[in-house]
Structure 1
Amino acid sequence: MFQNSMKQRMNWEDFYGPNLGYALELYDQYTQDPNSIDPDLKDMFDELGAPPSDIKEASGTKEKGRVTADLIQKIASAVRLAEDIRTYGHLNASVNPLRKDGKKSELFPLSDYGLTEEEIKAIPASVICKDAPKNITNGLEAIQYLRNTYKRTISFEFDHVHDFKEREWLTRKIESGELFKKNSAEKLSAVLERLTEVEGFEQFLHRTFVGQKRFSIEGLDALVPVLDDIIAQSVKSGTTSVNIGMAHRGRLNVLAHVLGKPYEIIFSEFQHAPNKDLVPSEGSIGISYGWTGDVKYHLGANR
């Protein structure tokens, strides 16, 4: 671990959990006799210098700086608790707006990890959640912050992501609070207007073309403003072309509002068809002109 890490400039904050305890123990050995440890480790400690007081105090070292096995176990348990929250926290999320009665049992009680509030409070917040906002000052606050982050009305599950850089990016975005910045009144008004357009379009199709297959966006209305933002941010970052391989659900709404396909063109694909009785039935290889099958959904748009 140390040899790989020394290829880049390190800080004491880069050590977590048991690694932190082990590093502090080696540093104590280094202060007593620098030549008693591996030369590469000696060079690292020469560069690192003494650990910050908050890390050293929270490490639970004895008077001579020795890290106890019990303390290492406590730090390891705290780190495991944090990882369990990241992995399973979505199971405690408030994703059902209709369930107002009763409270969910709180997941991840400290007692299950052999920890007390005082013990976990003594651990630096950076050991448990390095991306937490600056107002999070100790391990107990960091754990509560993680619990609240992953049990919101929007939660996250990305344990299946095995690329280290991707996981690190997701973790930083989620736990830094960057994703939860408050939007301006103008932004909220624009989103509401967009959602109103989406809903009005769906309602018109439902009333006007009764019984025709259209794969409504209902239940996924937020897709349109989400795509608006994704495309806008991509363009700001230099993207010059966006290709959407669209699913059926919500396709017409995305064509109308994201790609700007005129309403009249979309409506004409429902109306301009010969006598329905003469058109081949769904599933045949005949041309349906929009009345049967889902041919109209395959007619895309280029903006």
Structure 2
Amino acid sequence: MPSYLNPLNTGYIEELAEQYRQNPDAIDPSWRYFFDGLALRGRMDQSLAPQGPREADDLEFELKVLELIQAYRELGFLIADVNPLQRGIKNHPLLRLDKFGLSEADLEKICDVGNMLGLGRVTLREIIRTLTEYYCSPASVEYGHIEDPPSRLWIQKRVESNYLTKALPNEARQRCLQKLVEAEAFETFLHKRFVGQKRFSVEGNDVIIPMLDYIIDQASQLGADEILIAMAHRGRLNVLANIFQKDLKQMMGEFSGNFDANVGDGDVKYHMGYSTKTVTPAGKEVHLSLAPNPSHLEAVNSVLMGICRSKQKLKGDKTRTRTLAVMLHGDASFTGQGSVYELLNMSDLAGYTVGGVIHIIVNNQIGFTTMPQESRSTPQATDIAKMLEFPIFHVNADVPDAALRCCSLALQFRYKFKRDVIIDVVGYRRYGHNEADEPGFTQPLMYRAIANHPRVRQIYAERLSEQKVVTPEAVAAALEAYNQKIEEALA
């Protein structure tokens, strides 16, 4: 008899089946869906022990497919289409068919356990196609490390309702494209007008600009009236210009040297903080603060936590709803700086919690001139966070819809469970560590690929044009309008 069907295993299955008959909600959801499938075939009113070789083979096949489904739920992110420089679904030995005792010959067999995914009785091929769509798309999620059943099941249900791959409303997509236009035009203007000046551009991870814009809007609808942001120098000027709406004339003066050096704190422009008020697309007024940050990466994070906790206390915000903390990290510094680990370790302690932080990893797959395999001992930049009970989203920086969907689900999780969430935005760095560096000397192959890679604004504009959401003329007009605005600021 196959090992799956030895007396110990079949006895265990019979025990679970009896619990299912008494109360379906009393057993693990994975097994509940399995028995639901058998109930549809009228098998739950009889013993589940195999009645002969044919039934033994059928049950063994179903259990193998059940294992495959669980493996995709826990490991699907390993083969997900999240790298803009290496598009497509990857391969991994832990997700190969032969790992589960299955083969190509089994792909057209009908599976009862398809009911676990809401599919009914379908072929193994359809089950794999659906799992790939849910867990291996340009947006994927890690949650196998979460031991808390309610939060784990909450994520699973939403991912398996196709939440991460559903199209956004057209209005949200148009606004997203507008923010990408602004992000690209800002960087391109500075690159041409102030050649060689350090600005630590966001290019390659431009999508963080519409992501922050979307987070502010969605959080305001969940009750936030104040959002605090911490980040290092990468992309800070773009955030100041296009999220905080800092005066462009003032910013251009900082580049050209046309400003009063006796005013302000005297720090370099890509360290400066800022505060403002904004009105979201939903009509909500939100106060925004960007904490000043020194050259010491990740140093500001604990400061921001203290600010957030203090504001929550002053507001009497016991549910930690009104003030939200958002932190942007580099992939290298998130793994490399010990203060990040310390911060994560304190995140769920009663004396320090702020009700959950949204962490965004600006993952450009390099740290200065060092590749990931030379700077960390883990496959993912986010692996140090798996000690904690919160999900980790991985998303392709070239797929803005997927990025915004991750933001939405991350916010919902934070507000429901009051715990941190990580969004790992996998992109690239279009230029060197700063604009005076030549990265082609140390990473020639990577930067040859980047030089030929289209910008996300172009990719997204073409996609929306094909889907009749915008017109090419409207995109060109938006670029022209922003360029004129920034030219006037420099005049």
**TM-score normalised by the shorter chain: which range applies?**
0.5 to 0.7
State the 1:156 CA deviation: 3.1
Report runs of 4+ in structure 1 exceeding 6 Å deviation: 17-20
Correspondence for 1:284: none
User: Against the structure 1 CA distance between its residues 79 and 204, is the aligned structure 2 distance closer, same or farther, given a 3 Å change threshold?
Assistant: same
Q: Higher strand proportion, which one? A: 2
- 2: distance between equivalents of 1:84 and 1:235? 36
Query: Within 5 A, what are the aligned runs for 1:99-114?
Result: 108-114=95-101
Correspondence for 1:21: 13
Q: Tell whether the 8 Å contact from 2:254 to 2:269 is kept in structure 1 after alignment.
A: no
Correspondence for 1:146: 131
User: Against the structure 1 CA distance between its residues 212 and 288, is the aligned structure 2 distance closer, same or farther, given a 3 Å change threshold?
Assistant: farther
Q: Select which of 265, 271, 275 maps to 1:297.
A: 271
State the 1:201 CA deviation: 0.7
Correspondence for 1:232: 217
Q: Select which of 147, 154, 167 maps to 1:169.
A: 154
Q: Tell whether the 8 Å contact from 2:79 to 2:92 is kept in structure 1 after alignment.
A: yes
User: Against the structure 1 CA distance between its residues 53 and 184, is the aligned structure 2 distance closer, same or farther, given a 3 Å change threshold?
Assistant: closer
Q: What is the CA deviation profile of residues 13-62 of structure 1, one whole-angstrom value per residue up to 9, with x for unaligned ones?
A: xxxx98993346x64xxxxxxxxxxxxx6xx85666xx98842366978x
Q: Tell whether the 8 Å contact from 2:139 to 2:165 is kept in structure 1 after alignment.
A: no
Correspondence for 1:37: none
Q: Select which of 63, 79, 83 maps to 2:66.
A: 79
Q: Check if 1:124 corresponds to 2:113.
A: yes
Query: Within 5 A, what are the aligned runs for 1:1-303?
Result: 21-23=13-15, 27=18, 45=21, 54-56=37-39, 64-68=46-50, 73-97=60-84, 108-115=95-102, 117=106, 121-126=110-115, 130=116, 132=117, 134=118, 137-138=121-122, 140=124, 141-270=126-255, 271-272=257-258, 289=266, 294=268, 296-303=270-277
Identity of aligned residues (%): 31
The one-letter amino acid paired with 1:67 is A
Q: Tell whether the 8 Å contact from 2:139 to 2:164 is kept in structure 1 after alignment.
A: no
State the 1:194 CA deviation: 1.4
Correspondence for 2:477: none
**TM score, norm. by length of structure 1:** 0.65
Higher Rg: 1
State the 1:149 CA deviation: 2.6
- 1: distance between equivalents of 2:138 and 2:147? 25
SS at match of 1:242: strand
SS at match of 1:243: strand
Q: Give RMSD over aligned pairs.
A: 4.0
User: Per chain length, whose mean CA-contact separation is higher, i.e. which structure has more relative contact order (CA < 8 Å, sep 6+)?
Assistant: 2
SS at match of 2:139: coil
The alignment of Structure 1 onto Structure 2 pairs a total of residues equal to 249
- 1: distance between equivalents of 2:187 and 2:66? 48
The one-letter amino acid paired with 1:188 is R
- 1: distance between equivalents of 2:178 and 2:107? 49
Structure 1: which 5+ residue stretches go unaligned?
A: 1-16, 28-40, 276-286
Q: What is the CA deviation profile of residues 192-238 of structure 1, one whole-angstrom value per residue up to 9, with x for unaligned ones?
A: 22111111111122233333322111111000111111111111111
**TM score, norm. by length of structure 2:** 0.43
Q: Which moved more, 1:182-191 or 1:194-203?
A: 182-191
Structure 2: which 5+ residue stretches go unaligned?
A: 1-8, 25-33, 51-55, 278-491
User: Against the structure 1 CA distance between its residues 52 and 111, is the aligned structure 2 distance closer, same or farther, given a 3 Å change threshold?
Assistant: closer
User: Against the structure 1 CA distance between its residues 152 and 52, is the aligned structure 2 distance closer, same or farther, given a 3 Å change threshold?
Assistant: closer
Q: Tell whether the 8 Å contact from 2:80 to 2:135 is kept in structure 1 after alignment.
A: yes
Q: Tell whether the 8 Å contact from 2:107 to 2:123 is kept in structure 1 after alignment.
A: no
- 2: distance between equivalents of 1:70 and 1:218? 54
Correspondence for 2:377: none
